[in-house]
Every structure is written in C-alpha cells, then in structure tokens.
Amino acid sequence: EMSEMSERSKQNVAHGLAWSYYIGYLKIVLPRVKKSMEEFSRANPNLPACRKTWKLHILVPLSCDVYDDLEKADSNIQYVTDLTETTLARAGTKKRVYKHSLYAITDEENQLWHCAVEYATPLQSLYAMSQDECAAFSREERLEQAKLFYRTLEEILKGSKECADAYRLIAYE
C-alpha cells in the first residue's frame, strides 16, 4: 500500500534515477577521471595544468533542460578533445566505451580552465517525463524531482570512498 502511494505521487523517481546514475555510471567512471586528466596533461605539456579541476564537473540544471552541445549552451565553453576511453564488458556489451570530453572554459576574469564537463544525463529523463502525458509530470513536480535528484546524488557521492574528490556537482537554475 505504501509503495502504491509512493508510486502514484511519483516520490521515488528522482531517488531511483540518482542511484542508477551512481551505480551504473559514476561509480565506474569517477575513479578513472584523474588518471585520464594526468595522461592528457602529460601528452599536452603546452596547455596549463590545474590539478584542482582534474575531476568530472557534473552540471545539474534544475530546469532539467540539457543541451547536447555545451558550446551552444555557453559561449565561454569550447570543446578541446576527448579524454582517454575506458572500455569494459558491461551488462552483455563486450566493449562498452566510457569517455569524457575536455573543455576550455573562460571565467569572469578571462582565465582559462580545462575541465571534463557533462550534464547529469538522468535529467533528460525527468525532462522527457514532463513532456510525456503518460508520466504526467508538471513543471513544479519536475523541479521538485530535480532538487531531490541533486540532494540524493550529493548524499550518495559524499558516502562513496572510490569517488571522493573526483567530481564537482554544479546545480543551478
């Protein structure tokens, strides 16, 4: 009965998405991000290396509006290259590829930073659910789910030893 009430009120959507994102993706890729950044830095000694940005910067727009091209989202962001791929056998796929894109980001003081940046992909699902009449998510419910997703993911990652200091969550309106 409690499960039915929870499902009807859509309370467990963001919680499940956050856990799935962590277990099925972040727990796999985050422990490898620093190594990829180090390899890139060694191979490109002409580019400034800033170890404090050697983590995956995860964008969490509370609107759930996710761009496929970060350069179109913000003119201060320029694609540089892809970091070294990780290939693993996963869930029946023999050579599943995981990779991150490296961007050059210009800040307010015109300083250039090199960062691996991507959106939290489950937000695309929340957005799509708000557009699909079968899911019947209102904009307000989507916002609440996005906030819950962020809080849940933040809590999960804080408790993860293998992901420590390998990410930066960036929530914004």
Domains of the chain, residue spans: 1-171
Which is more confidently placed, 46 or 143? Answer: 143
Q: Are 146 and 123 in contact (CB under 8 A)?
A: yes
59 forms bridges with which residues in the sheet? 119, 170
pLDDT digit string, tens, across residues 153-171: 999 999 999 999 999 999 9
Q: 72 burial class (0-12, 13-18, 19+ CB within 10 angstroms)?
A: exposed
1-171: what fold?
Rossmann fold (3.40.50)
Instruction: Give me the mean pLDDT over the 38-52 stretch.
Output: 81
Q: Give the global pTM.
A: 0.89
| Beta bridge mates, 170 | 59
The DSSP-derived string for 122-149 is: HHHHHHHHHH-TTT---HHHHHHHHHHH
Per DSSP, the residues of the chain read -HHHHHHHTTTTHHHHHHHHHIIIIIHHHHHHHHHHHHHHHHH-TTSPP-GGG-SEEEEEETT----S-HHHH-TTEEEEEEPPPEEEEETTEEEEEE--EEEEEE-TTS-EEEEEEEE-THHHHHHHHHH-TTT---HHHHHHHHHHHHHHHHHHHHT-STTTTSEEEEEE-
- pLDDT of residue 133 exceeding 80, the answer is no
pLDDT tens per residue, range 109-126? 999 899 999 999 999 999
Q: Given this model, what pLDDT does residue 8 score?
A: 52
CB contact at 8 A, 10 and 141: yes
